[in-house]
Amino acid sequence: MTVETWFAFVIVWTAFVAFPGPNAVYAMAVGSRRGSTAAGAAAAGFAFAVAVYVSLVALGLIAFLAASAAAFEALRWFGVGYLFWLAWQAWRSDPDTLDESGLNVPEAGGIFSRAALISLTNPKSALAYVLVYPPFLTGGAAFNHDLLILGLTSVALSFLVYTLYGAGAGRLGRLIRSRRQALVRNRCFAVIFAAGGAALAIAEHR
């Protein structure tokens, strides 16, 4: 893989992960409530999901998932339910102001797991790997080497972008001074999660 090809992939992948979606919303939600440490835990969960998808690409399973109507539908409806569950959790969350105290292991693990599930239950994410990766893979003997480079780049960029999303939301979270403002924040994130679930529910498998 040439440096030019890698740099082009960096641009494409950064644009892909930076586009606002459920991942970015969740990173911002936890960052606005628990600060940069929580944002890092969410970003790690999304990066883990990227590693899983790259592994599926290596095994040749990602194309099957994208092409299988049954697999797409099952994953899609699981993702719909999960986003609506997140919306319900955000709606009923305590209206607390920003708490940047250290996370304990169970809390960090919960944030990590929820982030990973958001990405892994979105079939549109799987389709992205079918579209984005092939043009940058040369095939033949270099295939595994190229895939390793692209995979590591994807994981690193995803972690960086979502950390920045969450950390930025954490800075804005410092502006929230009252429980009423915190309640409005929670309800806004709840509505966004619900809208994401509704959008996924009407998505078609193409």
Say how far apart CA 125 and CA 16 lie, in whole Å: 10
Which 8-state DSSP code applies to residue 141? Answer: G
In a domain? residue 205: no
In a domain, 206, yes or no: no
Report the number of distinct structural domains present in the chain. 1
Q: Which residue has the tokens 């099952």?
A: 74
- Domain coverage including residue 114: 23-78+95-177
Task: Transcribe 41-69 into DSSP letters.
Answer: HHHHHHHHHHHHHHHHHHHTHHHHHHH-H
Q: Tell me the C-alpha distance between 2 and 165, whole Å.
A: 30
Residue 42 lies in a domain: yes
Report how far Cα 64 is from the mean position of its chain's Cα atoms: 21
Does residue 189 lie within any of the structural domains? no
* Domain contains 32: yes
Place of tokens 């095994």: 59
Whether residue 56 lies inside any domain: the answer is yes
Cα 97 from Cα 44, distance rounded (Å): 24
Q: How far apart are CA 8 and CA 53, in angstroms?
A: 20
- CB contact at 8 A, 9 and 136: yes
In a domain, 44, yes or no: yes
Residues 6+ apart with CB under 8 A from 169: 27, 28, 29, 31, 32, 39
pLDDT tens sequence for the chain (206 residues): 778 888 888 998 888 888 878 888 899 888 888 778 888 999 999 999 999 988 888 887 766 666 666 667 776 777 788 788 888 887 877 767 556 666 777 888 999 999 999 888 877 777 777 777 877 776 544 457 888 888 899 999 999 999 999 888 877 777 666 777 777 777 787 888 788 778 777 765 44
